[in-house]
C-alpha cells in the first residue's frame, strides 16, 4: 500500500468516527437542554430526541423545541 492509500483509509476512518460523534451529540442534545432548563419531563424529551433521530430526523427539531418550552405547573409553583 502506498502512502496515499493509507492516508485515504485514515481520512475515511476519521470521517466515520466524526459522523458517529455528531449522531450521538444530536441524540443527546434535547435531553441535555431539558435537564439544564429544569424541564418537568426531561426523560421524555430525551427519549423523544433519540427516537425521532433514529427513526428519521424529520421530527427531531420538535423534540429540541420541546426541551426549550417551559410548561407551567398546575399548582403554580416554580
Q: Tens of pLDDT along 8-57?
A: 999 999 999 999 999 999 999 999 999 999 898 999 999 999 999 999 88
Positive or negative torsion for Cα 21, 45, 43, 51: negative
pLDDT band (50, 70, 90) for residue 73 = low
Nearest Cα residue to 42 out of 71, 11, 2: 71
**pLDDT of res. 77:** 58
**pLDDT of res. 78:** 55
Amino acid at each position: 500500500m502506498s502512502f496515499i492509500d493509507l492516508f485515504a483509509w485514515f481520512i475515511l476512518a476519521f470521517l466515520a468516527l466524526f459522523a458517529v460523534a455528531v449522531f450521538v451529540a444530536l441524540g443527546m442534545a434535547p435531553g441535555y437542554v431539558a435537564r439544564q432548563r429544569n424541564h418537568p419531563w426531561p426523560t421524555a424529551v430525551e427519549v423523544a430526541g433519540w427516537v425521532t433521530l433514529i427513526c428519521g430526523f424529520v421530527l427531531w427539531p420538535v423534540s429540541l423545541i420541546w426541551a426549550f418550552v417551559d410548561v407551567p405547573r398546575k399548582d403554580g409553583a416554580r
